């Protein structure tokens, strides 16, 4: 709901569709915030591709999606557990090397 929800919000064709999509995104972020208060990763103590997939959305959320897709009710920095989760995954060297925030921002704000 988070990965697709930001796009559903940004490309909504009506105010009602936007509001439904944004509600889904932030309801899911609240659920994830709660889940991550009790465990390190989505499935417990093991890092999986699901964590990587969520991370790729969350790492773009504050710098891009809050503006570009108008998913701006809250930021990831407003969720202590989600923020810690993003930082924890980002600290993994192979992931850190794969993230180029300048490229991410340039891609979204100049190529669409």
**For every one of its 112 residues, what pLDDT tens digit does the chain have, with 9 covering 90 and above?**
899 999 999 999 999 999 999 999 999 999 999 999 999 999 999 999 999 999 999 999 999 999 989 999 999 999 999 999 999 999 999 999 999 988 888 888 787 6
Q: Identify the pLDDT of residue 86.
A: 98
Q: Identify the pLDDT of residue 109.
A: 76
The answer for residues whose C-beta is within 8 angstroms of residue 76's C-beta and 6 or more apart is 29, 58, 61, 62, 82, 83, 86
Nearest alpha-carbon partner for 5 in 83, 40, 57: 57
Q: Identify the pLDDT of residue 66.
A: 93
Distance in angstroms (rounded) separating the CA atoms of residues 33 and 42 = 10
Q: How far is C-alpha 13 from the chain's CA centre?
A: 22
Distance in angstroms (rounded) separating the CA atoms of residues 111 and 85 = 29
């Amino acid at each position: 709901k988070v990965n697709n929800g930001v796009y559903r919000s940004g490309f909504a064709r009506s105010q009602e569709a936007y509001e439904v999509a944004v509600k889904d995104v932030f309801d899911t972020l609240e659920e994830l915030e709660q889940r991550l208060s009790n465990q390190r990763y989505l499935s417990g103590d093991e890092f999986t591709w699901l964590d990587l997939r969520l991370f790729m959305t969350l790492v773009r959320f504050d710098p891009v999606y809050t503006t570009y897709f108008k998913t701006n009710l809250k930021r990831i920095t407003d969720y202590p557990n989600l923020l810690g989760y993003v930082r924890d995954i980002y600290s993994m060297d192979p992931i850190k090397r794969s993230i180029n925030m300048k490229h991410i921002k340039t891609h979204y704000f100049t190529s669409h």
